[in-house]
Amino acid sequence: MVKAKQKQISEISKMIEPYKKVLNIGCGGCVSVCLAGGQKEVNVLNAELLQVAGASHHIEGYTIERQCRPLYVEEIRNIVEQFDCLISMACGAGVQLMAETYPDIPVFPAVNTIAIGIDRDVGVYEERCRACGDCIIGYTGGICPITRCAKGLFNGPCGGVQNSRCEVSETEPCAWVEVYERLHKQHRLECIQLIREPITWQNQVQRTVYQDVTA
């Protein structure tokens, strides 16, 4: 079960400030159960943001069954394309899948995930969030450097990247090259220049878990 806590209104409002048409997307999964990102929380957050932003912003809400499942995220494509940016009230994995599905639209996290993965297939779960409690993927194009970078670099890339690939494996893409390309598409390359203090982690390995579902 994912646990999450809403970010401060001031941080969320600052992220969406340049965008006039905003869609806040809730999740009916884990964050709904822990009362951090379900439909009720979407409505409350939208009301609070409108008080801060005023009439200059148009903010709507929509909740899907699960943001960590590609099927449900893809279902709202016609709705998403009507907006300038998205707010996701899902866990860090859900925010990243939303950003991956709609790479041309900025996706901003509204909650801090306090651990977490994407359902790639039945019984196949890919870790996308280490639950650091201070989500920065609003500044890295929806790509988590902790789980996607083999070295967990907050400020990358390292000197080992070759032809957009990680030095750990010739088949593994460099997460920071993907960050650059995503931000370039969104005209937000200034975000990659933000320097952040490193965090010490014991486990830097991205994990894909295969569970036996035949039993």
User: Is residue 113 included in any domain, yes or no?
Assistant: yes
Question: Could you tell me if 86 and 107 are in contact, meaning their C-beta atoms sit under 8 angstroms apart?
Answer: yes
Question: Could you tell me if 24 and 87 are in contact, meaning their C-beta atoms sit under 8 angstroms apart?
Answer: yes
For residue 202, what are its two tokens?
Answer: 């014991």
Q: Which domain holds residue 116?
A: 4-210
pLDDT of residue 152: 84
User: Is residue 156 included in any domain, yes or no?
Assistant: yes
Task: Please indicate, yes or no, whether the overall pTM of this predicted structure exceeds 0.85.
Answer: no
Euclidean distance between CA atoms 129 and 118, whole angstroms: 9
Question: Could you tell me if 25 and 87 are in contact, meaning their C-beta atoms sit under 8 angstroms apart?
Answer: yes
User: Is residue 35 included in any domain, yes or no?
Assistant: yes
Euclidean distance between CA atoms 36 and 40, whole angstroms: 9
User: Is residue 179 included in any domain, yes or no?
Assistant: yes
pLDDT tens sequence across 110-157: 999 987 888 788 777 788 888 887 888 999 999 998 888 988 888 888
Euclidean distance between CA atoms 141 and 94, whole angstroms: 14
Euclidean distance between CA atoms 101 and 98, whole angstroms: 5
User: Is residue 160 included in any domain, yes or no?
Assistant: yes
User: Is residue 215 included in any domain, yes or no?
Assistant: no
User: Is residue 133 included in any domain, yes or no?
Assistant: yes
pLDDT of residue 207: 60
pLDDT of residue 2: 85
pLDDT of residue 215: 53
Listing DSSP states for the chain in one string gives ---EEEPPHHHHHHHHTT-SEEEEEEESSHHHHTTSSSHHHHHHHHHHHHHHHGGG-EEEEEEES-TTSHHHHHTTHHHHTTSSEEEE-S-HHHHHHHHHHSTTS-EEE-EEE---EEEEETTEEEE-----SS--TTTTTT--HHHHSTT--SS---TT-BTTB-TT-TTSBPHHHHHHHHHHHTT-GGGGG--------S-----EEE-----
Q: How many domains does the chain have?
A: 1
**Parts of the chain with a pLDDT under 50:** none
Backbone CA torsion sign across 19, 25, 30, 35 = positive
User: Is residue 195 included in any domain, yes or no?
Assistant: yes
Q: Is the peptide bond before 109 cis (omega within 30 degrees of 0)?
A: no
CATH, residue 121:
3.40.50.2300
